[in-house]
A and B are shown apart, each in its own frame.
Chain A
Amino acid sequence: MTNDVAMNVDVDLDIIAEQVWSAFLNSGEDEAIFAADDKGSHADLAASVAMVGAYEGHLVVSCSHKASRDVASVLFAMEADEVSQDDIGDALGELANVLGGNVKSVLPSPSQLSLPRVSATEHERWPGTVEVCRTVVSWRGEPFVVSLLSGGHAVHKTQEVPA
């Protein structure tokens, strides 16, 4: 079942990422490169939202500490060295939320989106999932890997799907 869904999903993550970056992370000189190369990219943090319903899976965006701090700095309009860990979690979580909602709109419906979750990549696992597609956005010289997973529905279903 999971693999059937994975095979039938046609999502253009590049277009969605481009819309999100140009709306929220376009601060003049920081032009983003879409469908970038992810060779050698290292991610410290992963933000994800779960989708539960007609489509079961996760949208995950992962990046380095520096990149996450830059995202928070732009969204909160603060200097990078002024943002707190809370700010970083909030900003990266909202980035996953907006990417996830837009991805969900082109997946089988109806599905519900969970609240975002942000954690260190070393603690983050999505057992039972397969990656359906991924893209890499290079922004301020840092890679952001945006990945759509299918399956693994039990992972953050219970606590984080709004009533």
Chain B
Amino acid sequence: MLGIVIDDSRAMRKILRGLLADLGFEVLEAGNGQEALELLQSTGRVPDLALVDWNMPVMTGLEFVVEARKIAELRQMTLMMVTTESEHGQIVRALAAGAHEYVIKPFTRDGIIDKLALLGLVPVGVL
């Protein structure tokens, strides 16, 4: 499976990359929404999963979700927001825009894995 971690913090990308790699994912990284769209376009790759931060320069996570949902080739990609934004209204906005799941930072490793399992994204026998 292929995942992409989109976060402007390199530290956060490293943590999330490690978590996905432990689950057997191949992992791409981008520092904002625009960079992610360009990377996916240039490589022609379609991740099974995107972990998306909200607050990023250039293109926010919410803007990325809106744009990604307009691209037919990316329709199968599961979008999980992983963000410190935790106002109810913002969670509703992200889900309405097409995000499938919402994880609030600080997260625990188990918390993310449980949500991925519910989405059918943890391969059997990996844990």
Of A6-14, A61-69, A94-102, A123-131, the stretch lying at the interface with chain B is A94-102
Complex alpha-carbon distance, A50 and B73, angstroms: 37
Contact residues in B for A162 (Cβ distance below 8 Å): 55-57, 60
For residue B106, which residue of chain A has the nearest CB? A23
Q: Which A residue sits closest to B93, measured CB to CB? A: A110
Q: Contact at B89–A100, with CB atoms within 8 Å? A: no
- Give the chain B neighbours of A60 by CB distance below 8 A: none
Nearest A residue to B83 via CB reads A101
Interface of B toward A, CB cutoff 8 Å: 8-12, 14-15, 18, 55-57, 60, 63, 83-90, 104-108
Partner of A101, one of B15, B60, B85: B85
B9 touching A97, Cβ below 8 Å: yes
Interface centre among A19, A87, A98 (most CB of B within 10 A): A98
Evaluate contact between B84 and A98: CB separation under 8 angstroms.
yes
Cβ of A34 within 8 Å of any chain B Cβ, yes or no, is no
Most chain A Cβ neighbours within 10 Å, of B63, B105, B106, B107: B106
Is A143 interfacial (CB-CB < 8 Å)?
no
Q: Select A94's contact among B9, B87, B104, beta carbons within 8 Å.
A: B9
Give the total of A residues in contact with B, Cβ under 8 Å.
29
A75 contacts across to B, CB distance below 8 A: 11-12, 14-15
Determine whether A20 belongs to the interface, using a CB cutoff of 8 Å to chain B. Answer: yes
Which of B10, B12, B15, B87 makes the CB contact (< 8 A) with A109?
A: B87
User: In this complex, which of A76, A90, A93 has the most chain B Cβ atoms within 10 angstroms of its Cβ?
Assistant: A90
Contact A100 B8 (CB under 8 A): no
Residues of A within 8 A of B9 (CB): 90-91, 93-94, 97
Q: Are A76 and B14 in contact (CB under 8 A)?
A: yes
**In the assembled complex, how far is the CB of residue A22 from the closest CB belonging to chain B, in whole angstroms?**
8
CA distance A86 to B99 in the complex (A): 31
Q: Is there a chain B Cβ closer than 8 Å to A77's Cβ? A: yes
The answer for the CA separation of A19 and B108 in the assembled complex, in Å, is 10
Complex interface: chain B residues within 8 A of A111 (CB)? 87
Q: Indicate whether A115 reaches chain B with its CB closer than 8 angstroms.
A: yes
CA distance A105 to B105 in the complex (A): 12
11 contacts between A and B (CB under 8 A): A24-B15, A72-B11, A75-B14, A90-B9, A90-B10, A90-B11, A97-B105, A102-B86, A102-B105, A102-B106, A110-B87
